[in-house]
């Protein structure tokens, strides 16, 4: 899953699954700390700033994630799609998520690899979320 073969990268799948897994699918939305925590549970690694910020930027530009009041939620289309994946093993789930991202782009001209990522999260907010998670 590299930039040459896909407009999205594996980290985007990791970010999206982390938002979903940290209450970004229901309820009040996912905070940076819960996204970092869930990302670690999924991948046994902590996002670096660029992975999380750039992934959120591409996912938001693509219409998959929305942010309000420093909380992140997935779109209704993502919620519907993820319900059908709940019983799949993680590697197959990741593959299906990437296929979904590619097939359901909001804009036909949208190419996330050509986006100059926005500063979705401030570096100091990211660092504080990681520090809080690590204790």
Tally of structural domains, the chain: 1
Is residue 1 a part of any domain in this protein?
no
What's the pLDDT at 81? 86
Strands (E), 2-133: 65-68, 71-74
Is residue 73 a part of any domain in this protein?
yes
First to last CA, the chain: 33
What's the pLDDT at 2? 39
Instruction: Retrieve residue 94's tokens.
Output: 């990741």
Instruction: Retrieve residue 32's tokens.
Output: 């940076």
What's the pLDDT at 68? 87
Is residue 25 a part of any domain in this protein?
yes
Is residue 2 a part of any domain in this protein?
no
Q: Give every residue of the chain whose pLDDT is below 70, as ranges.
A: 1-7, 24-26, 105-117
What's the pLDDT at 124? 96
What's the pLDDT at 13? 94
What's the pLDDT at 114? 52
Task: Residue 31: give the domain boundaries.
Answer: 10-134
Is residue 4 a part of any domain in this protein?
no
What's the pLDDT at 35? 96
Provide the H-helix boundaries in the chain: 10-19, 32-43, 49-61, 76-83, 90-103, 123-134
Is residue 21 a part of any domain in this protein?
yes
């Amino acid at each position: 899953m590299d930039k040459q073969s896909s407009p999205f990268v594996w980290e985007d799948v990791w970010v999206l699954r982390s938002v979903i897994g940290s209450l970004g699918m229901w309820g009040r939305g996912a905070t940076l700390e819960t996204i970092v925590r869930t990302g670690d549970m999924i991948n046994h690694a902590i996002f670096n700033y660029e992975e999380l910020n750039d992934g959120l930027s591409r996912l938001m530009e693509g219409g998959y994630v929305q942010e309000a009041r420093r909380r992140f939620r997935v779109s209704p289309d993502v919620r519907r799609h993820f319900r059908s994946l709940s019983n799949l093993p993680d590697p197959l789930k990741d593959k299906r998520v990437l296929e979904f991202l590619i097939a359901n782009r909001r804009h036909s001209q949208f190419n996330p690899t050509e986006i100059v990522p926005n500063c979705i999260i401030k570096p100091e907010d990211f660092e504080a979320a990681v520090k809080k998670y690590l204790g």
